[in-house]
Every structure is written in structure tokens, then in C-alpha cells.
Amino acid sequence: MIRLSSLVIVAALAASALPARAELTLCNRTSYRMDAAIGLEKRATVTTRGWFAIDPGQCKQVVDGALDAEMVYINTRTPPVYGSAPLPQNGNADFCIRDGTFEIADARNCPLSQQARFSPARPSDSPKGPAINLAEEADYDDDQARLAGIQRLLVIAGYDAHPIDGVQGAKTQSAIAKFIADHKLPADAATGPDFFAALLDGARNPEGRGFTWCNDTKYAVMAAIGTIEAGATITRGWYRVDAGQCVKPDVRGDPRKLYSYGEAVDGNGRVVKTGETPLAWGGNVALCTRDGRFELSDHKDCAARGLNSAGFADVDLTGKPATTVRFKEQ
């Protein structure tokens, strides 16, 4: 099993060669839609294949015919709509990938810019043959993973489906019904194979509900949000908002107010500057951030604690069913 923690996926090392046997299956027991690529090693040659889109709670066959490999590797990623979703890789094998559907026979031979980090994984036996299970700390079964995945995308799309726990309840049922009504879907849409596609579309284009960042620049923007929860200000980041895209962060706590900050980055992740000034969008509320993924509740003496400080904009949500902050170049 490959387990998704709050930071990484940890893969079990394959200690011995894998015998030729039935087709390989990937099972997604996380609350995130996953795009997966696999690497198959035999006699020091690695072939990579991808991308396989796997919904929460879904299993998908990724090898036609018997699995004949000495080692299996995996790389997974999540759509940008999830923002600061957990990072999925901590392996040490770099293999070639491409956008779209691909199969690369000599996956060690390509420029570094076309490589991605893969983790080794040993498939377990299942009634349908060898399987690799993607899991997170909540340890969902297939049904729980599907429901938690629905809850997560509903929240991103601006519907109240908290908590994200894979447990059916009145709030989740109400949020699903409201989403279906708002998007004019069939009454039984939640049980259909295309529901996650509809949820992803709703999360990417959350018109009319909740808080959204939209990036109207030519750069990627890394954004952070501050919310008031139980009287404390919590900042979370970073959410990546690609050029021309919108992202709806998970807004918790007091629905009447939040804080927003964003900064443009180049292809190497460096902050873009106009002259000596960073290209950023914020305000006068100084709150702590840090490099990498973060969640912070103490905003005193940021620098003394090894943290960064940024000026966040105060965003008033009172009486507004929908609020969008747009990142624009002046």
C-alpha cells in the first residue's frame, strides 16, 4: 500500500522480483482525484506509462496482460483545483513523463526537465490480481474514499459539506442535493461515473458561491489565505493559481471575513519582480507565512521564529454569496 500523509506518499520497497501474473490495478483510497503514472523495470530498462485518472474510491487497470516486471514505480499528482493538496512523492527514482497519454520505452533517457520523481511500490495480492493501493491517514475504504472525495470538492466549490470524513450525514446530503440542483444534473448523478467530472468543473468555475482567486496574469501565482477560527487567525498556503485559472481555497471559520495574499512566480519558482518590487497582491495586515506548505496560527515576531511576513488584504465577505479576488498586472 502507498499511504498519503499530510506531506508525502511513502512507498514500500520491492525486495524481490515480481512474477508474471494478472493485470496490475491501481486503487485510489484517498479523498483526492489522482492522475497516476507507473514505471515498470525489467533487466535495468524502465518503461513509463500514464496518465491514468482515478477518482476517489475507484480502481483502474493500468497494465494490459500479465504484469511482468522486476520492480514497479509510481508517480501521482492532483489537479490544481485542490490548491495545497498533500505532496504525493518522496521516492528517489527519476523517470521520463509527458503530458497527456504516454508510453516511454526508455524512461531513463530524457532531459531533466522531462523527468518526474517516482516511488517504488510492491503490489499486493487482491481477488483481481496485483494491486497498488493509494491511501491517506484516514484509512478510508473504497466507499468512504468516494464520499470524502465528493465532500472535498463540494467544499472547494463553495458548498457546506464539512467535515471531510467520508461519513454520510445531513450536511453532506444537503450539499450534494444543492450542487445537483444548481448544476441541473439528474437526481441520481451522485452515484454515476461522471459525477467527479461535474464536481471538478464546479470547483474550477465556482460562479455564484464562496471565495475564489482568479489569475489574469501571464505568471503562476502562489496564494495564501487567512481565516478566523475560534478567535484565532490561521494562515494557510501555498495554493498555486496558474495563469488564466481560478482556484477556490477551503475557507473555514468565520464566513464574514478573510485575508488574502498572492505573489507571482516564474518557471523556477522565484518571485517575479517589477524593478526591485515583488509582483504581489495583498494589503496592510501583517501575517506570517513560510516557504513550502504551511498552516500557522501565531503571527507574533515572524522573523524571530524563522518565518516570513506578508501583507495580507482584508476581504469583507459580509452578505456576499460570492467574492472573487483577481490577480492582475498593473
Q: How many CA atoms lie within 13 A of 224 on its CB side?
A: 30
How many angstroms separate the first and last alpha carbons of the chain? Answer: 49
Co-location of 183 and 264 in the same domain = no
Co-location of 237 and 192 in the same domain = no
pLDDT above 90: percentage of residues in the chain: 58
Co-location of 28 and 71 in the same domain = yes
Co-location of 158 and 264 in the same domain = no
Write the CA distances from 174 to 161, 180, 184, 188, integer angstroms. 8, 10, 15, 14
Nearest to 151 by CA among 270, 311, 96, 140: 140
Co-location of 153 and 261 in the same domain = no
pLDDT band (50, 70, 90) for residue 318: confident
Q: Which of 136, 171, 194 is the last residue of a domain?
A: 136
Contact 115, 59 (CB under 8 A): no
Contact 226, 310 (CB under 8 A): no
Co-location of 253 and 230 in the same domain = yes
Long-range contacts of 316-319 (CB under 8 A, 24+ apart): 316/256, 316/257, 317/211, 317/255, 317/256, 317/257, 317/258, 318/256, 318/257
**DSSP designation for 108:** T
Q: Domain range spanning residue 16?
A: 2-136
Q: Give the model confidence (pLDDT) of 69-98 as tens digits.
A: 899 999 998 988 887 656 555 678 999 999
Write the CA distances from 146 to 94, 153, 263, 277, integer angstroms. 31, 11, 34, 45
Co-location of 29 and 131 in the same domain = yes
Cβ-Cβ contacts under 8 Å for 278 (sequence gap 6 or more): 263, 264, 271, 272
Co-location of 126 and 188 in the same domain = no
More confident residue, 249 or 186: 186
Co-location of 252 and 273 in the same domain = yes
Number of domains in the chain: 3
What is the pLDDT at residue 248? Answer: 75
Co-location of 94 and 129 in the same domain = yes
What is the pLDDT at residue 158? Answer: 72
What is the average pLDDT score of the chain? 86
